[in-house]
Amino acid sequence: MTSASNQVYPIIWHNDSVSLIDQTRLPNEYAFVEIHRSEDMALAITTMIVRGAPAIGVAAAYGIYLGAREIETDNRNEFLQRLEQVAQLLRSTRPTAVNLFWAISRMMRTAYESIGTVAELKQTLLQTAQTIHAEDLQTCQAIGDNGLAVLPKTPQKLTILTHCNAGALATAGYGTALGVVRSAWREGRLARVFADETRPRLQGAKLTAWECVQEGIPVTVITDNMAAHCMKQGLIHAVVVGADRIAANGDTANKIGTYSVAIAAKAHNIPFFVAAPLSTVDFALIDGSQIPIEERNPQEIYQVGDTRLTPEGVEFYNPAFDVTPAELITAIITEHGAFAPSELAKSQPKQVV
């Protein structure tokens, strides 16, 4: 949903339901899906109607409440047992994005620690989901502003390359990587965004480009295999990407193709930044080798719309994410500031789970 200033808000709570921008229909159709049940929220996450690690976390939080609302019992223990089934359904939707598990954990902790009747507990769960929602928006705005401090200081305005979509659509609003872009644009420091198209689902071409158009930010879409060429031509001053899960050492899982961009940036001495909330950092994982990588339906590769792109009989491999090693990352930009990957552990607040 957009305001008069064209700010995008992909998740809205109103009239006792969740309204989601259907991101599978952008940019050709700007439509919404109304979610009333936890099962429908799980399906929306699985099918990428809502996507992006922070947005998935917010959606899952509301999914827990919607599931709680459907449970008809006044017995607290029975309620919690059935709520755990709702949580497990939502956990099973996307394995890589840690914000999903972080939000579910926070909601379930609220359920177990709250006192009062089941009816009061349900209301507390709604309030917690709304708090997670509001906090994410504030977090993204802080990430955007903190990114300004570490972007290169150049005589001319900056050109920033990004991969996939880590904008308002991937969060509660404003975005992580595109939050940095938005802050740079509003401070007069940005000339243009170069957006990798991001095969196979084309989030850069469809979503990042759409968001930039909404706000009048100049954007150039390139195919994924053009990034290194653009760097060599001096067209890129910095790379800023989002993240779906970050290990304690700074190894970062993001949309497939990010690793290649990081290697190219390193070769051309271009700073490579990851922008993400601390809820995306999984401090329980020592390094990126422990991050689970989701593999998706190969149809995403071999078919666009109703058109098949490849001959029958070939095989496919469709990992949705890759892991960029910490040594290729200049800094990780969070709501608490920007940190070198080796300093990430120092940023861990007590409330991060």
**Which residues form the catalytic set?**
244
173 known ligand binder: no
53 known ligand binder: yes
214 known ligand binder: no
91 known ligand binder: no
What residue has token string 């977090």? 139
Residues β-bridged to residue 159: 192
The CA-based angle 65-70-73, given to 5 degrees, is: 110
Residue by residue, what is the 3-state secondary structure of 208-259?
HHHHHHHHCCCEEEECHHHHHHHHHCCCCCEEEECCCEEECCCCEEEECCHH
CA distances in angstroms from 321 to 89, 149, 230, 339, listed in the order given: 22, 28, 23, 23
299 known ligand binder: no
94 known ligand binder: yes
Beta pairing, strands 245-247 & 281-282? parallel
Instruction: State both tokens at 61.
Output: 């939080």
99 known ligand binder: no
- The whole-angstrom separation of Cα 179 and Cα 77 is 42
What residue has token string 């939050």? 179
